Structure 1
């Protein structure tokens, strides 16, 4: 009996402690929710933005039906979105360009930030229809829209601006990525997963002749051969090759890195540096951010654009467009050798400012990026700025 009594006391004590811990967790969770709600309540939730669509080069899509839906509000009977922005009716999204590039969109204007994506789309290359109905990261979008960012427009003092596009990207395998875009800065909001669906034949039969083309095998073949939708270069490159599922997720892997510049002789880099990443994000370093130039967790860069002055005050602009396979292999190798070390993306500028060379290094190893495509041009505006200063 004594042993049973001790056992009961132990069970009762454990139950009380567990219940107490669970209650604390629920209380903390509830407090966090209230904190987020209070923060959102104090922020503006209507902004001027336009919807946009994106897909990878060579993998066109068409949205069959789709909406960006605002937060739910009560109409007295049930709850409905406070706004609905259509993202269909734009025809085929070609993807000629880069993953994350914005296309389509017709409703530029002030409206609520969306909270949900409800969409069905067709992937031409896969010959598959996908559907997604998902919550978006609404708090993150509200926060980013309200914070804004520094504009590269040169006026007296610091000029702030904010995002003007919400772009939805569709990649093979049902991958969906949402970005906020604002020219000088593009930020990923989240990655979501669609599921394969089959449209009811009765629904297809009820469509008008134009809408039914989306389900016509002959029209699909015509679309896949159209060089205005899939470039001849992409058609040739992808011929008889499997779809690289997972590629667009690999673009989202981030590393701690920063750009650094080295002049073989004298020179000065301008405080306006931008880079586009393979994951569809874009970052611009201006003024104090440029001076700090701290290593940050970023996706691998696709293009680095910058400007500088030569020893004589001549202004120059230039860019480096990196070879995808080369730069990914280099970042992965450096990270594997020392996962904790930051990576420097070093750009060397020769004495005559006619040549650029890029190298990635982490203090242990340096890997030159020999396949990069570079361009240098003279900048009259920078030269004039140098003379004024």
Structure 2
């Protein structure tokens, strides 16, 4: 074969392999932080990035979004250009105005876990499947950084990491503030919080062993799913057509518990229970991580009342909402 054609074929094979890998391992990067409004700053915990590199196994460049973090804990609310490859670490420099500090996060992710993560697909109801779709970086006070793996609507914590304070930061200050309308002293005057602490977000990460059981007065009730939105930023869906109870799992405490059920072909519902942070953490504070606890959800026969119990004791919640459901399942009436 002519040498020129051999080179062309090799280039085509290489390009095809690169395209296949990019298509297979395509995901988004996101950043977030706790949501808090202070002295006119509606997002005081927002951090600003000087560098935001994500390290990939294949050596493909990947980055965090430009600018600052957004959204709320565990949820950015902003999209960004798709990234490619298997993410195995991060090299990030950022500025936390509320502490007036520059931080450097240089960390590795567990390689085997990330190789498995990009090849994992979740089925969360009927025939809906979600592949690995993103990494979310959350920035809390005192250099605390939490990273979550995203699979569509499912979020799973990868780990908690510690960024280190950069003491010699004058060049970083020049680089970051050269195009700002405020200088460093003005940002500090507006945002500085001398007692900022990561304790609250570390508390959110505590895990307990519990299950959820549904008790109902209507023999026609069919339960289709539980959706957990947890205080630690994780979100999980348990699809369970005939079963009234989940298995005992070690997980963070739920902030919102959502469920879908039917009692006839014309009676389809979605219910949301919004838990009270102070109440639920007080109830769990003396429980050991391995001790088994049980949440009970009780639905009235007319589908108008939804109550939450913990180990047979009623739990005060912030609110309960019941909507007419619209999702059809394979097991629907």
1: CA distance, partners of 2:255 / 2:272: 10
TM-superposed deviation, 1:351: 2.5
Q: Deviations over 1:76-95 (max 9, x none)?
A: xxxxxx122122522x3244
TM-superposed deviation, 1:294: 0.8
1: CA distance, partners of 2:88 / 2:237: 27
Identify unmatched segments of 5+ residues in structure 2.
1-20, 37-44
Larger Rg over CA atoms: 1
TM-superposed deviation, 1:329: 1.4
Partner in structure 2 of residue 79 of structure 1: none
TM-superposed deviation, 1:310: 3.3
2:118 aligns to what SS in structure 1?
helix
Say if 1:381 and 1:117 are closer, same or farther in 2 by CA, change over 3 A. Answer: closer
Name whichever structure is richer in strand by fraction.
2
Partner in structure 2 of residue 68 of structure 1: 54
Q: Deviations over 1:236-286 (max 9, x none)?
A: xxxx89434322112111111111111134442432221111111111111
TM-superposed deviation, 1:206: 5.5
Partner in structure 2 of residue 120 of structure 1: 93
TM-score (norm 2): 0.80
Aligned residues: 304
Say if 1:179 and 1:173 are closer, same or farther in 2 by CA, change over 3 A. Answer: same
Partner in structure 1 of residue 66 of structure 2: 89
Say if 1:359 and 1:244 are closer, same or farther in 2 by CA, change over 3 A. Answer: farther
1: CA distance, partners of 2:222 / 2:99: 46
Contact kept in structure 2, 1:272 and 1:290, CA below 8 Å? no
Contact kept in structure 1, 2:120 and 2:132, CA below 8 Å? no
Which residue of the other structure, out of 295, 320, 324, is the alignment partner of 1:374? 320
Which residue of the other structure, out of 318, 343, 354, is the alignment partner of 2:304? 354
Say whether residues 1:303 and 2:256 are aligned partners: yes
Contact kept in structure 2, 1:63 and 1:120, CA below 8 Å? yes
Say if 1:217 and 1:384 are closer, same or farther in 2 by CA, change over 3 A. Answer: same
TM-superposed deviation, 1:161: 2.4
Partner in structure 2 of residue 196 of structure 1: 165
Which residue of the other structure, out of 169, 180, 186, is the alignment partner of 1:218? 186
TM-superposed deviation, 1:382: 5.2
Say if 1:289 and 1:117 are closer, same or farther in 2 by CA, change over 3 A. Answer: farther
Contact kept in structure 2, 1:261 and 1:269, CA below 8 Å? no
Which residue of the other structure, out of 261, 268, 278, is the alignment partner of 2:231? 278
Say whether residues 1:48 and 2:31 are aligned partners: no
Q: Deviations over 1:164-210 (max 9, x none)?
A: 11111111010111111123321111111011113542454466731
Say if 1:94 and 1:144 are closer, same or farther in 2 by CA, change over 3 A. Answer: closer
Say if 1:242 and 1:286 are closer, same or farther in 2 by CA, change over 3 A. Answer: same
TM-score (norm 1): 0.70
2: CA distance, partners of 1:288 / 1:145: 28
Name whichever structure is richer in helix by fraction.
1
Identify unmatched segments of 5+ residues in structure 1.
1-43, 73-81, 226-239
2:119 aligns to what SS in structure 1?
helix
Structural mapping, 1:240-255, within 5 Å = 242-255=195-208
1:354 aligns to what SS in structure 2?
coil
